[in-house]
A and B are shown apart, each in its own frame.
Chain A
Amino acid sequence: MLERLQAMKDQALADLTNKDDIVALEAWRVMYLGKKGELSTALRSMGSLSQEERPVVGQVVNEIRAVLEQTFETKRSQVLQKAANEEERRNQLDITLPGRTPFLGAEHPLQKVIRRIEDIFLGFGFTIEEGPHVETDYFNFEALNLPKDHPARDMQDTFYIHSELLLRTHTSPMQARTLLARQPELPVRIIVPGRVYRRDDDDATHSHEFTQMEGLVVDHGISMSDLKGVLLTFAKELFGEHQQIRLRPSFFPFTEPSAEMDVRCIYCGGDGCSTCKHTGWIEILGCGMVHPHVLTMGGYHEEGITGFAFGMGMERIAMLLYGITDIRQFYMNDLRLLDQFTQIAR
C-alpha cells in the first residue's frame, strides 16, 4: 500500500511538470486531488487496512496531499503569472507615439516679465497700483515738476486728446496720484506696471505703445543708498545672483538727484560685446530721489520725508532676457513666437 502511494505521488509530480496551461492543471488537480481523484480513492480504501496500518497510511496520505497541493499551488501561480505576462506582452504599446497632449497656452512675454518683477517687489512689501491710460496734463506733467512749456517735455512726444487731456507718456502720473490719495499715510511702497504712449513712428526699437513699470517709496529718511539697495537686490533676482549695478548721473524733472542704472551685460558678463557696445554694462532703468516739489504737490510737506522712484521699460527687459530683437514682435503676436514661451518654467 505504502509503495503504491509513493509511486502515485511520484507519478503525480512527474505529470505536473509538463502541465503549462490552466486547463491541463485543473484536469491534473481533479485527477489527483479531486473528490474522486487518486488520493481520495486511496483514503476510501483504507477501510480494508488493519488497525495498526491505518494511522500510518493515513499520515502518509495526508503528507502526500500536502506536498501535492503545495506543488500544485506553486505551479498554478507560475502558470497564471506566465499567462498574465503574455497578456501584457500582447498589449504592449509604442511608448514613443505622441500622447494626447493638451494644448499649452503661453503667457505673453511682457506679462511674464511684469509678473516676475511684480513678484520680486511684492516680496519687498510693495503693492501694485494701476492708473488710467488717458491722463490729464496736470498728472502727466505738472504734478511731476514739468510745468507747461518746460523744455524737458520734449523728452516725450505726446498724443493729445485736447490741450489738457492726453495719453500718458509714462507710468509716473501714478506717483502723483498715489501720493495725493494716501497722504499723510506712510510708508508708501508701490509699483505701477502699465501701458504708455509716445508719438513715435514704429520701428525695431520704437513703439507708439509700450509698457513701463514705475516704482515709488516715500517714508521718513529714505536715502539714495536705500534706492541702491533695493535695485541691487532686484537686479540679482531678475538677472542672476552675480549681478552688479552701476548708477550714473542723469536727469528727470521729478527726481533729484537722478540716475540711470546699468547692470552687467547679461550676454558677455561685462567683458564687452556688441549688445553692450563694448562697455560691459547695459542700461536698465532711470531712477532718483523724489523731487521735493513732487512730494509737496503730493501733500507731503514735513521735513525729513523723502523717497525714491524708478521706472523701466518692460519691452527692453524682455528683449534682453529673451533675445527678441524687434519691439513690434510684442504686438504682432506671432503664434510661432508665443509658442516658444510655453517651454520655460517661469
Chain B
Amino acid sequence: MKITWNWLGEYVDLAGLTPEKVATDLTNAGIPVEWMQPLSGQVKDVVIGKVLTVEAHPNADRLRVCKVDVAKGDPLTIVCGAKNVAPDQNVPVAIDGAILPGGKIKRSKLRGVESQGMICSAGELGLDARLLPKEQTQGIFVLPQDAPVGESIVSYLSLDDMVMELELTPNRSDCLSLRGVAYEVAALYGRSIHMPDAVVKESSLAEKLPLSVEIATEHCSLYTAQVVSNLKLSASPLWMQMRLLAVGTRPINNLVDITNYVMYEWGQPLHAFDYDAISEHKIVVRQAHTTETVMTLDGEVREVSSSAILIADPQKALGLAGVMGGRNSEVTEYTRAVVIESAVFDPVSTRQVARQLALRSEASLRFEKGIDEDITLQALARAAQLMETFAQGNIASNSIAKSTKIVEQRQVKQIAVFVKHIQSLLGYAISQSEMLEVCKRLGFTVRVVSDEEFHVFVPSRRQDITIEADMAEEFARLVGYDRIPVSVMRGQLTAGVLKPAQHLKRTLRNFLLDRGLHEVWTYSLTAPKVLANVLIDEGHPATKMGMLLNPLSEDRVGLRTIVLPSLLEVAAYNSNRGQKNIRIFEFATIFLPNQIPMLDQPVEAPHITGLLSGQVESVGPHGETRLFDFYDVSGIVHALLTTSGIAQDQISLVRSKEPYYQTGQCAEIYSKNVLIGSFGKIKTTVTECYDLQESFYFDLDFFMMQKLIKSDLTVRELPKTPGAERDLALVVDRDLPVQQVVDAVKNSAGHELENVSVFDVYTGDKVGADKKSVALHLVFRADDRTLTDQEILAKVETVLNVVKDEFGAYLRF
C-alpha cells in the first residue's frame, strides 16, 4: 500500500511533523514503512508555459522552433523534437539552468538555432511513464488549459511530495486506505481526523432514474448504490491523476478515477456500471450458476464456479463481485449515466474466486480482508459528490442500501479489559489511565466499570481487534514496545537435557566428523527420475514416493525415499569442481508412504548415510596413500555401531541385493532378523554416470538402531591371572566367510576362551587356488588360576577337530 505525504495531510494534521519522523514512528507502531522517496527526482526551475507559435526548423525536418510564453520577460525560443507540440498548449518548460531528474538544462544551439530551454515530457519530469496514458508519454506533457502560466510545475503537479510504501501485516487491512493511516497517525500524536463530508444526497431531479437492487446470496451483507446521470466523460483533474499515479494506479477517465480515488481514500472498493447496460434497471447480487462465464473488463472470458458472487441484472452477469467488473457494463465514451456500487462481499468467497482466477485486484485485496461497513454508504456519497463536481453529473436516483444482516449483528464490538490481565501479560505496570489515554488516541470509546475493568467499543474499521489480548497489543505498541521491561522467567525448575536419541545423534555426528567426514544437508524434495540413475526399477520399495499436488519445478515433485542419489549429486557437484576426495555424511529423513497415492502422514525415517570416495588420507611426503575400499566403509559402520552400544555379536551380515551395489562387495546388517542398514561399493555403472571414482556408501536406519542401543555399563573386573595366547593358521575353502570360522572357534573353545581375532588372511600359491589361510589369535584365561599348557593344548585340539568337521579346515604349516 502506497500513500503520499501531502495526500495524508488532507485527513490528519501533520503540522510540525516530517515524513521521516512519521515513517519511523509508524514502523515502530507496527505499520512498517518499507521505503520512502520523493514523487519525482529533483525538479527545479520548470514552469508552466504557453506555446505561442510553432515553426519548422530551418535545418532539421524533425525539429520545430517554438515561441513559448512563461509569463516572465520575452517569450522564449525553444527547439522541440516532439510531434505533438502545437500552438495554444500549456506545457512544462525547463528554463535555462533548470534541474531535471536526468540532469541540468542549459541554453544551447540545436542545428544552428538557439534554444532557451526545453519543453518537457512526463518522463523527463520523473513521472512513472508506465502508468501514464500513451498520449502523455509520446511527446511533451500537455497540461490542462487552465494551468496558470508562469507557475512552478513542482507546485502545480505537487511533485514535492513524498511517497511511502507501507508493508502491512495481513491483520491491518484498515490501513489499506488513507483514512486508516490517518487514524493511525492521529493515534500516534494525539491529533484529530478530518475526513471530507460524505453525506448521502438524494436526487433533486424531477424525473429520477429507476434502480432496484435484490440480494440473492448470503455472501453479500450490504449493497448500496446510486445513479448519477448527465455525466461528461473526460480526464480527471490533474491533481487526482497525480495522486493515483503516485500510489501506482493508472489514471483512465474521470469516472473510473473517482471510484479508485475514493477506494484509496476510504478503503471501500467501488464500481461504476453503465446505467444503460443494466436490463430492467435492476441489479441482482447472486451466486454464479455452474459453468457461467463472464467477460471481465480486461477482455478475458472467465468461467466461474458456483462459489463466485456475481453482480447481474435479470438477464445477464454484469461483473464478478469484488474482483472485477464486466466488459458489457463498462463505462465508455457513450456512457451518460452510471450506477455507483459500494458494497460488502464475503471475504472468503472473494478470496477463493480471486485465487481460482488468479485475479488479485486492488478491490479483491480489500474485500478478502474485510470491509468497514460503517463507511460503505459514505464512500458511495463521496463518489457521487465527486462525480457531480468533476463530471458535471446529477444525482439521479435516491441512494439504495440493502442489507442481509439483521441489525443486532452489526452491533459495535465490545471488549472487557481487566487492568490486571494487561499488566501481567505485558509484564509492565501500565496504569488504567494510560490505557484509557491510548483508547482515546485510537478513537475507541470506553466505558469504565471500575478501577480494575473497563469496556472498549471497537469501531468497525478495526476488524483485527476482537479479544482482550488484541487490546494488550494496542496498549503496548502505542506506549512503545521499548517500555516493556526485561524480567527473569520464574517457575518450576526443568532439566534442559537431550533425549537419548538426540544425545546419540550428537555422538554419532561427532564420531563421523572425527573420522574426517563432512556433514552435508540436501533437499528432501526430489523426482522419481533420479531413481533410474541408481538402477532402481519399478517394484523396488523406493519407487513408492509421496508426490506433491502443486510442485514448483520438475526436479522437486516428491518426497525422497532413499538418500543415495542426493549424496551422489553432492559428490558429482564437488568432483566437477576438482574435489575428487569425497567423504560426506548426512543425517537425512526419508519418507515412506503408507499407501500410494499418499493419504496420511508417512513414516518419516531418519537415516544416517555416507559416501566415501578417493584417498583414505591426505597425500604427503610420508609415502603412498591408498583409495577407500569396502573394508574402510565396513570398519566405519562397525565402529559406529559399537559406539552406539550395539555389540558385534548382536549383528550379522548378509550379502545385499540392492541394485545400486556392486555384487559381492555389499552387505546388509541384520540384528535379530531386523534390517538396520547396508553398506558397500556403488556399481561402477552408477558412479561413472555421476563422473565419480569408486565410491562406497553406507545407510543406517536410525530408528532401528535406537531400539538396539545400550547406554548402561558395569565394567568387567580386570584379570588377575595371566592369559595364554595361541595363534592358529587354518586353511579353509576360499569362499567360506571368516565369520563362520570365528563363530565355530568361539563355540568350541570353551568358556575360558577370552577373545579370538583375525589377524591375517592369505590366498596364493602356498595354499592352493581354491583355499585361503585364516590366521587367528586366541587368548585363553581362567579367573582363578594359570592355565597349564596341557589344558590349552586340549582346548586347541577340540577347536581343530570342530573346524575340521565343519569346514574341512586344517592347520597350515
* B268: interface (CB < 8 Å): no
Closest A residue, CB atoms, query B521: A108
- A187 with B494, Cβ < 8 A, contacts A221-B424, A229-B487 known: yes
Contacting residues of chain B (420-461) with chain A, CB-CB under 8 angstroms: 424-428
User: Is the CB–CB distance between B170 and A152 below 8 Å?
Assistant: yes
Contacts of A224 in B (CB 8 A): 425-428, 476, 484
Contacts of B410 in A (CB 8 A): none
Contacts of B597 in A (CB 8 A): 162
Query: DSSP class of B's interface residues: helix, strand, loop or mixed?
Result: loop
User: Is the CB–CB distance between B427 and A97 below 8 Å?
Assistant: no
User: Is the CB–CB distance between A225 and B428 below 8 Å?
Assistant: yes
Closest B residue, CB atoms, query A163: B549
Closest A residue, CB atoms, query B492: A187
Contacts of A133 in B (CB 8 A): 524, 559, 589, 591, 604
Closest B residue, CB atoms, query A198: B552
User: Is the CB–CB distance between A333 and B513 below 8 Å?
Assistant: no
A232 to B484, CA, bound (A): 13
Query: Shortest beta-carbon distance, B502 to chain A, in Å?
Result: 6
User: Is the CB–CB distance between B546 and A232 below 8 Å?
Assistant: no
Query: Shortest beta-carbon distance, A259 to chain B, in Å?
Result: 6
- A228 with B487, Cβ < 8 A, contacts A126-B496, A187-B494, A333-B584 known: yes
Contacting residues of chain A (247-270) with chain B, CB-CB under 8 angstroms: 247-251, 256-259
A67 to B525, CA, bound (A): 90
User: Is the CB–CB distance between B550 and A257 below 8 Å?
Assistant: no
Number of interface residues of B (CB under 8 A): 95
User: Is the CB–CB distance between A151 and B351 below 8 Å?
Assistant: yes
* A134: interface (CB < 8 Å): yes
User: Is the CB–CB distance between B552 and A201 below 8 Å?
Assistant: yes
User: Is the CB–CB distance between B498 and A128 below 8 Å?
Assistant: yes
* A102: interface (CB < 8 Å): yes
User: Is the CB–CB distance between A161 and B547 below 8 Å?
Assistant: yes
A223 to B509, CA, bound (A): 38
User: Is the CB–CB distance between B591 and A125 below 8 Å?
Assistant: no
Contacting residues of chain A (140-165) with chain B, CB-CB under 8 angstroms: 148-149, 151-152, 154-155, 159-163, 165
Contacts of B490 in A (CB 8 A): 221, 226
Interface string of B494-528 (1 = CB under 8 A from A): 11111100100010010011111111111111000
Contacting residues of chain B (577-610) with chain A, CB-CB under 8 angstroms: 577, 579, 582-585, 589, 591, 597-602, 604
The stretch of A1-9, A11-19, A45-53, A116-124 that contacts the partner chain: A116-124
User: Is the CB–CB distance between B622 and A209 below 8 Å?
Assistant: no
Contacts of B173 in A (CB 8 A): 151
User: Is the CB–CB distance between A103 and B618 below 8 Å?
Assistant: yes
Interface string of A282-313 (1 = CB under 8 A from B): 00000001011000000000001010000000
Contacts of B484 in A (CB 8 A): 224-225, 228, 247
Contacts of B520 in A (CB 8 A): 108, 333, 338
Interface string of B383-420 (1 = CB under 8 A from A): 00000000000000000000000000000000000000
A27 to B164, CA, bound (A): 105
* A132: interface (CB < 8 Å): yes
Contacts of B719 in A (CB 8 A): none
A159 to B424, CA, bound (A): 39
* B764: interface (CB < 8 Å): no
User: Is the CB–CB distance between B502 and A128 below 8 Å?
Assistant: yes
* A54: interface (CB < 8 Å): no
User: Is the CB–CB distance between B577 and A108 below 8 Å?
Assistant: no
* B347: interface (CB < 8 Å): yes
Which of the residues B470, B494, B573 comes within 8 Å of A334, measured between beta carbons? B573
A330 to B232, CA, bound (A): 62
User: Is the CB–CB distance between A149 and B488 below 8 Å?
Assistant: no
User: Is the CB–CB distance between B601 and A111 below 8 Å?
Assistant: no
* B27: interface (CB < 8 Å): yes
Contacts of B577 in A (CB 8 A): 334, 336
User: Is the CB–CB distance between A225 and B485 below 8 Å?
Assistant: yes
User: Is the CB–CB distance between B570 and A149 below 8 Å?
Assistant: no
Closest B residue, CB atoms, query A106: B518
- A228 with B485, Cβ < 8 A, contacts A159-B550, A251-B171 known: yes
A151 to B123, CA, bound (A): 37
User: Is the CB–CB distance between A249 and B472 below 8 Å?
Assistant: no
* A107: interface (CB < 8 Å): yes
Which of the residues A105, A195, A219, A334 comes within 8 Å of B514, measured between beta carbons? A105
Query: Shortest beta-carbon distance, B737 to chain A, in Å?
Result: 31
* A317: interface (CB < 8 Å): no
User: Is the CB–CB distance between A225 and B486 below 8 Å?
Assistant: yes
* B556: interface (CB < 8 Å): yes
* B469: interface (CB < 8 Å): yes
User: Is the CB–CB distance between B524 and A209 below 8 Å?
Assistant: yes
User: Is the CB–CB distance between B620 and A229 below 8 Å?
Assistant: no
Contacts of A214 in B (CB 8 A): none
* B67: interface (CB < 8 Å): no
Which of the residues B425, B515, B525, B600 comes within 8 Å of A223, measured between beta carbons? B425
Contacts of B519 in A (CB 8 A): 105-108, 111, 338
User: Is the CB–CB distance between B582 and A189 below 8 Å?
Assistant: no
A115 to B494, CA, bound (A): 19
Contacts of B491 in A (CB 8 A): 186-187, 219-220
A104 to B583, CA, bound (A): 10
- A223 with B574, Cβ < 8 A, contacts A125-B494, A128-B502, A160-B550 known: no
Interface string of B608-625 (1 = CB under 8 A from A): 000000000110111000
Contacts of A132 in B (CB 8 A): 601, 604
User: Is the CB–CB distance between B426 and A134 below 8 Å?
Assistant: no
Query: Shortest beta-carbon distance, A217 to chain B, in Å?
Result: 7
* B544: interface (CB < 8 Å): no
* A222: interface (CB < 8 Å): yes
Contacts of B521 in A (CB 8 A): 108, 110-111, 330-331, 333
- A105 with B518, Cβ < 8 A, contacts A127-B494, A165-B598, A249-B477 known: yes
* B97: interface (CB < 8 Å): no
A165 to B601, CA, bound (A): 8
Interface string of A161-199 (1 = CB under 8 A from B): 111010100000000000000000011010000010101
Query: Shortest beta-carbon distance, A276 to chain B, in Å?
Result: 14
A132 to B172, CA, bound (A): 32
Contacts of A155 in B (CB 8 A): 170
A271 to B118, CA, bound (A): 44
* A100: interface (CB < 8 Å): yes
Contacts of A189 in B (CB 8 A): 494, 496
Contacts of B515 in A (CB 8 A): 103, 105
Query: Shortest beta-carbon distance, B482 to chain A, in Å?
Result: 7
A107 to B508, CA, bound (A): 12
Contacts of A232 in B (CB 8 A): 486
Give the A-binding residues of B (Cβ under 8 A): 27-30, 32, 169-173, 347-348, 351-352, 368-369, 424-428, 467, 469-470, 472-473, 476-477, 481-482, 484-499, 502, 506, 509, 512-525, 546-552, 556, 559, 570, 573-574, 577, 579, 582-585, 589, 591, 597-602, 604, 617-618, 620-622
* Contacts A246-B481, A333-B574 known; 6 new A-B pairs at CB < 8 A: A115-B506, A151-B351, A209-B525, A257-B473, A289-B469, A331-B522
5 A-B pairs within 8 Å (CB atoms) are namely A151-B173, A186-B492, A249-B481, A333-B518, A333-B520
9 interchain residue pairs of minimum CB distance: A225-B427, A103-B516, A249-B30, A223-B427, A257-B473, A251-B169, A105-B513, A122-B496, A333-B520
